Amino acid sequence: MSLNLTLQENDPFYKKQPIRTRKKRLQESSRLGQKNFRPELEALPLLKETSADQQEKLFVAKLKQCCVIFDFSDCVSDLKSKEIKRACLNEIVDYITVTRNCLAENIYPEVITMVATNLFRILPPIGTDTVADETGAEDEEPTLEASWPHTQIVYEFFLRFLESIDFQPSVAKKYID
């Protein structure tokens, strides 16, 4: 055995491989490290129950409310506010789908700000599990972003915004870089 060990130490192509164990991949928020103060969200009135002259103002207020970002790595914090935001996102998706002439020019910058705030973010930290990448093995189930419950609705809203009959590319071009 001593001879084998000596040969391995002298062999320039011999590489000691550490024993690797697979660690469980946890969901992490891509807003990791952001400890900004978040106000408690208050449920705003429903758009469909508001008079037509107040709907645009309320729509802008809801878009601004949807700009609040939550830390989803702590699943028990801000539960009420997270649910208010989710309900608000679903409501504005329905509103933009059903309501005609709801996309005035002053709505475009608010929409772009809300979408950018929710979708453009720092990538989550790379996990310590690199064995799958090196060996070519894949996980059985993909790990989703912890904030996906809100992010998915924002994507849906943006798609409906772009597909809306009232959408004006010339107006949107002013606000999209």
56 Cβ contact list (under 8 Å, min separation 6): 102, 104, 106, 107
Q: How many residues does the structure list for the chain?
A: 177
Geometric angle at alpha carbon 102, from 101 and 103, rounded to 5°: 95
pLDDT of residue 147: 78
pLDDT of residue 20: 54
Q: Evaluate if pTM is beyond 0.85.
A: no
Hey, where are the domains in the chain? 41-123+143-177
46: left (phi over 0), alpha (psi -120 to 50) or beta: beta
Nearest to 124 by CA among 50, 37, 32, 8: 32
Task: Please identify which residue in the block is written with the tokens 């798609």.
Answer: 159
85-123 residues labelled b (16+ CB within 10 A) or e (exposed):
beebbebbbebbeebeebbeeebbbbbbebbbbbeebee
How far apart (Å, rounded) are the C-alpha atoms in residues 116 and 140?
31
pLDDT of residue 167: 97
pLDDT of residue 24: 44
Tens digits of pLDDT across the chain (177 residues): 555 555 556 666 656 555 555 444 444 444 444 445 567 899 999 999 999 999 999 999 999 999 998 877 777 778 899 999 999 999 999 999 999 999 999 999 999 999 999 999 776 666 655 445 555 556 567 667 777 888 999 999 999 999 999 999 999 999 987
pLDDT of residue 77: 77
pLDDT of residue 23: 46
